[in-house]
Each structure stands twice: as structure tokens, then as C-alpha cells.
Amino acid sequence: MDLKHIQVITNIVGQDNLILDCPMSGHTTFRVGGPAECLVTPTTVDEISATLEYCRNNEIEYLVIGNGSNLLVKDGGVAGVVIDLSSKFNNISVDGLTVTAQAGALLSRVARKAWTASLTGMEFAEGIPGTIGGAVYMNAGAYGGEMCQIVDKVTCLTQDGQIVTFQGEDHGFAYRHSAYMGSGMVILEASLNLTLGDSEAIKATMDDLRGRRRDKQPTDKPSAGSTFKRPANGYAAAMIEQCGLKGFRVGGAEVSTKHSGFVINAGGATATDILTLMDQVADKVQEQFGVRLEPEVQIVGRD
């Protein structure tokens, strides 16, 4: 990227909030991925807005990320600017039955904040390793709960720099989908409507779900959670297992022996290993069941 552009962006976010040639392996839960030309960690809405405006006006590619928990960055890295909201744009506040969190706040932190305020309804999200922004974007869910059940208002930055707030049907929630996907808007914060509950009962539920997740999922290995979307008829993990693919490996990438719906970095994997494995798994499932599994993980970057 041109030095002039780097200087302008540095002036917007500050020297301490910009890294050049930043390995994306440190910003994704897969722990793989080539470098971002320029990674910034803005602290305010104004910094986010100004960075995006400059990128758009100068035709600089950009990518907005949270915790990188549903992200696979290719080995060639990411051109242009990566805007990481998880590091410094992550405030959480509670007002009555409403919890409001900036987009970069980890779901686990928000769930614990709700618990300490004796608010119930978010227990399902405690173990999801993502941010509020990412969770709203894809309507994340687990153990019978989904973000669509608790999201009230979502504040976004539009492509023309306007700050707008959405409610109700405007969210466009469906299974692992929202109206924000493909919209070009950047989610800035979300307000969640919860219910007053008993803090001990809330904690017990969170502890139970955490234990179930630990027992059934490969939480000790780098992954991006469930690798494939749930097909219309059946479950991806069951289909993969019935194809005899538990433990199937390509390089350092492996179909988890603990939960076949997870592709893990078993050690030293590259993004190419993971992508190759995903393609081969999808091919074998299609051959046996006539169903093409679609990635749930977002794939970005250069080959």
C-alpha cells in the first residue's frame, strides 16, 4: 500500500493503533493466515468512520473483523486495511433490562456482564468465541438460543458515513443470516433485551453449557467453530462422520475426532491445508448423500 495512504491512516487512528504486515494468524481463532498489509485497532466511532471513508474514497480494499472466530484468512494474506474492532472498541453497559455492547465486545464478556446484573436470556452465548458484532451479523446461536431472540437495536455505519439504528424486522434474521450480510454496513453496537433472573441459576446454566461444550467440542485446538452450515435435511457433523471422515487429515488440518463438524488446526496447519480438507470433505459428503456442504466460516484473502 502506498506510503501516503499509510500516513493518512496513521494520522486517523494514531501510531499505536496501526501495524504493517501484521500476521493474521494472531487475529483468527484458526491461528493461520498470511499478513494484512495494514491492520488498525480504532478506539472510537469517528476513527472507524474516517478510516472507512478514506479507504472508500481511495479505492483501498478493507476488511472489518472482530475476534476472527468465524474467519479463515488465506496464506497470501489480506490486501489493504484490516479494521480490528475487538481490541479497543469493546465497551459494555447495563441499563435496567438492556445490555448494550460495542461491536468488538466478546460474547463471553457480555454474557458474564448480564449474569452479574442478574439478567437471563444470554446464557447460550457465553461459550461462543466471537464478538457481538460478528454474532449479530451471522445470527449466531448455540444450545437452542440465537441472537435474534435477544437483539433489540443495532447501530450501524452505512457506506455513505451515516449512523443508523435498526429494530424489529429490519434485522432480517434467519438461520445464520441477517440483513447486515452483504449490506456494506459496519455494525457499531447492539442493544440486547434480557429478563430479570436469579444470578445463581444463570451461573449454573452457563457452567453447564460450558461443560457440555468442553466435553463435546475440541475447545483445546484452534478452530473456527462449526465449519459447515447445517444442510436442509440432516446435520453436517453426522454426514461427515457417516462418511468415515473423523480424524481425516490434510497436512496440519484435521476433522476433529471429538466432533466431526469441526475442522481443527491440529498443529502447523496452513490455510491451504484447511481449505483443501474442507473441499475434500464436501466432495465426499456430496458423493454419498447428494448434498453439498457450504462453509459456515468466512473465507477471505489472497491465495
Calpha distance 53→162 (Å, rounded): 11
Q: Give 230: exposed, middle or buried? Use CB within 10 Å, 0-12, 13-18, 19+.
A: middle
Fill in the amino acid letter for 63.
L
- Of 112, 199, 230, 296, the catalytic one is 296
Is residue 190 within a helix (H) or strand (E), and if so which, with residue range? strand 186-193
Calpha distance 113→65 (Å, rounded): 22
Helices in 97-191 by DSSP H: which ranges?
107-116, 132-138
Calpha distance 167→136 (Å, rounded): 12
Has 226 been annotated as catalytic? yes
Has 176 been annotated as catalytic? yes
Is residue 155 within a helix (H) or strand (E), and if so which, with residue range? strand 151-157
The residue written with cell numbers 457417516 in the block is 242
Helix, strand, coil shares of the chain as percentages rounded to 5?
Answer: 35, 30, 40
- Of 69, 223, 226, 260, the catalytic one is 226
Is residue 146 within a helix (H) or strand (E), and if so which, with residue range? strand 145-146
Beta strands in 8-102 (DSSP E): 18-23, 35-40, 62-65, 71-73, 78-84, 92-95, 98-102
- Of 176, 189, 191, 256, the catalytic one is 176
> Are 227 and 296 within 8 A, CB to CB?
yes
Has 210 been annotated as catalytic? no
Write the DSSP symbol of residue 258.
Answer: S
> Are 7 and 275 within 8 A, CB to CB?
no
Cell of 162: 451515516
Instruction: Point out the residues that are catalytic.
Output: 176, 226, 296
